[in-house]
Amino acid sequence: MNIKENIKTLIIKKPLKLDCGQIINDYPLAYETYGTLNENRDNAILVCHALTGDQFVTGLNPITKKEGWWSYAVGPNKSIDTNKYFVICANVIGGCMGSFGPSHVNQKTNKIYGADFPVITINDIVNAQVNLLDHFGIKKLFSVVGGSMGGMQVLQFVSNFPEKTKTAVPIACTSSHSAQNIAFNELGRQAITADHNWLDGKYSSKNTVPDKGLAVARMAAHITYLSKKGLQEKFGRKLQERDDLKFGFDADFQIESYLRYQGSVFVDRFDANSYLYITRAMDYFDLAKQFKGNLSDAFINTKAKFFIISFTSDWLYPTQENKDIVIALNSIGADVGFIEIKSDKGHDSFLLDVPDFLNALKNFLDKSYKENKV
């Protein structure tokens, strides 16, 4: 299959100076849209995806042939109702689903970038995405919404472009990556670079993949997306298709088999170098640092209405880190709402069928949309 035939791509002519100092231009930004942009162009929602997501938010992903990563939340009559809203989602730069990333050819050398790709930040990602608004003639979004790394993009977007959205919904996120989260990401990166097939990032030119390292990286990360209670209830100490322990290193336990499966299917759809670059962008994210340590100053110029959502069992981006954002917004008198959703599904709660979350998101968006129409 020719992936390019199934991907909408916008070539960005406007030069973008990255935080690392390099300047890029004439670069591709892959995107997908859902719903219809109304005549006033005021019903657009920019959805920002998380680490391993892509632009195919809902419906059938034409590349993987699987359901979009947020099919529970986005679609006709769902929380983000595509009968009402025009939904836009871009694959982040650094990604591997069509946007400018490590798997692209460096026009100066005529070789695949690999590990020579420039290091990117959340700020760079957002500054690239905003070009989609000009492309569609949208002066102001109705909302910008995202969970996890997508939530980081929401915060950065409102800070960079305070007049370009009416509402903002950061979900299960943080304003800066903690030492614990940097540590987990580094574990994943080390697994990839230690794989003998990584070849200093040049594996594509050798027609190989550091699949074992990438699978381990995914397994380690996946644990952080779940909760202890959720894992115990689903797996406990159940054995995998056997009556007793085998006294070896095969997958005796169901949880072992589950993690191995998650790792194996991940390598079929994601690029190892993209994983390195995007996790690095997450680790570099520190919005307060951009404003001399004062997080409130990041939002001082916006009149956007915020709705921040966290989950009780999320230990990757715990409720307190979400509340810190609320406190920063309250200190400048911003319009901000907050809800902590009870769920035992861990960080991944925002991706799953959690009715209280889906209802809260829908109610906020629909009420805000109605208020904006008055």
Answer whether residue 248 shows pLDDT above 90: no
Walk me through the domains of the chain, giving residue ranges and CATH numbers. 8-176+286-373 (3.40.50.1820), 181-278 (1.10.1740.110)
Asked about 103 being catalytic, the answer comes back as no
For residues 157 and 164, what is the distance between their CA atoms, to the nearest angstrom?
A: 9
Tens-digit pLDDT profile for residues 287-325:
999 999 999 999 999 999 999 999 999 999 999 999 999
Closest CA to 287 of 298, 279, 276: 298
Tokens of 12: 């960005």
Catalytic member of 314, 343, 344, 348? 314
Contact between 31 and 55 under an 8 Å Cβ cutoff? The reply is yes
Q: Using an 8 Å Cβ cutoff, are 174 and 317 in contact?
A: yes
Continuous segment of H or E residues that includes residue 56: none
Enter the tokens of residue 301. 């110029």
**pLDDT tens digits, 262-277:** 999 999 999 999 999 9
Tens digit of each residue's pLDDT (9 = 90 or more) over 4-13 = 668 999 999 9
Q: Which two tokens stand for residue 238?
A: 């159940």
pLDDT at site 252: 85
Length of the chain: 374
Residue 33 CA to its chain's centroid (Å): 17
Is 148 known to be catalytic?
Answer: yes
Task: Give the residue-averaged pLDDT of 331-359.
Answer: 98
Confidence band, pLDDT 50/70/90 cuts, at residue 2: very low
Residue 293 zone, left/alpha/beta (φ > 0; ψ -120 to 50; rest): left
pTM, rounded to two decimals: 0.96
Catalytic residue among 143, 347, 348, 368: 347
Residues linked to residue 168 through DSSP beta bridges, in sequence order: 144, 306
Question: Which of 71, 99, 148, 159 is flagged as catalytic?
Answer: 148
